[in-house]
Amino acid sequence: MRILVVEDNPDLRRQLAEALSQFGYVVDLASDGEDGHFLGDTEPYDAAILDLGLPKMDGISILERWRANGRDFPVLILTARDRWSEKVSGFDAGADDYLTKPFVIEELLARLRALLRRSAGHTVAALECGHLRVDTRSARATLKGAPIKLTAHEYRLLSYLMHHQSRIVSRNELVEHIYDQDFDRDSNTIEVFIGRLRKKIGTGRIATQRGIGYRLVDIDT
C-alpha cells in the first residue's frame, strides 16, 4: 500500500516514514504544500497523511483541490490546531480522519489501517482468503496458522492483493501501488514477485487473468 506524507517538520516526517516503512507501506514524502498537492494530484496513492500548517499551500487548500479533481483516496489530517471549528473545516474539505499533535505513532498507524480497510471494503484488521491470512496490525502473513517468511516487496504485493481480493488487479496497478515514485517502473519485477509468492503460498492461490492481471483465489473451500 502506497502512502503520501505531507509534513514540513523534518523530524516528524522522518519518524513517520520509518514507522510506515517498518509496517510494510511504501512512503512518498513532501515537505511543503505545493509538492504535496502535486504528488497527490498526479500519483495513485492508497491514502495520505496531511499536515494543515504547511508552507506554500495550506492543508485545507490541498485537500479541497484534491477532492475537486476527483482524488478520492482516504486522507488523515495532522495538525497542532485543536479547535473544533478547524476540525469541522477539515472534514468539510474532505478529510476522513483527524489527529491532533502531539500523538502516539501507534494510534496513527491504527487509524491509517482503519482508513485503508474501509476504503477497500473490509471491516477487520486480519484479512483472510481461505487459510491464507494477513494481519495488518503486525504486517505478518500466515498460511494454515504457520508464519510465511516474506520479503518487504513480497509482503506489499500480497497485502495489496488481499485488500483487493474481490477483483482482478492489473500489473500496472500493482507497480503504481507497491513501489515509490523513484522506483524503476519499467522493470518486470512484478512477475518475479508473483512467482516467489506462489512458491510460498501455493501456485493456485494467485490466478493470472491473461492480458488483464492477477486475482487471489480461495482454494480451501
76 touches 48 (CB < 8 A): yes
56 sits in the region (left: phi over 0; alpha: psi -120 to 50; else beta) called: left
d(CA 212, CA 221): 25
Three cell numbers, residue 30: 513532501
91-120: buried (b, 16+ CB within 10 Å) or exposed (e) per residue? eebbbbbbbeeeeeeeebbebbbbbbbebb
The count of other CB atoms within 10 Å of the CB of residue 24 is: 23
pLDDT by residue for the chain (221 residues), tens only, comes to 999 999 999 999 999 999 999 999 999 999 999 999 999 999 999 999 999 999 999 999 999 999 999 999 999 999 887 777 778 888 999 999 999 999 999 999 999 999 999 999 898 889 999 999 999 999 999 999 999 999 999 999 999 999 999 899 999 999 999 988 776 665 578 899 999 999 999 999 999 988 889 999 999 87
- The dihedrals phi and psi of 3, each to the nearest 5 degrees, come to -120, 135
Walk me through the domains of the chain, giving residue ranges and CATH numbers.
2-120 (3.40.50.2300), 126-216 (1.10.10.10)
Closest by CA position to 79, among listed 61, 97, 53: 53
Kindly report the three-state secondary structure assignment for every residue of 114-153.
HHHHHHHCCCCCEEEECCEEEECCCCEEEECCEEECCCHH
Read off the pTM: 0.88
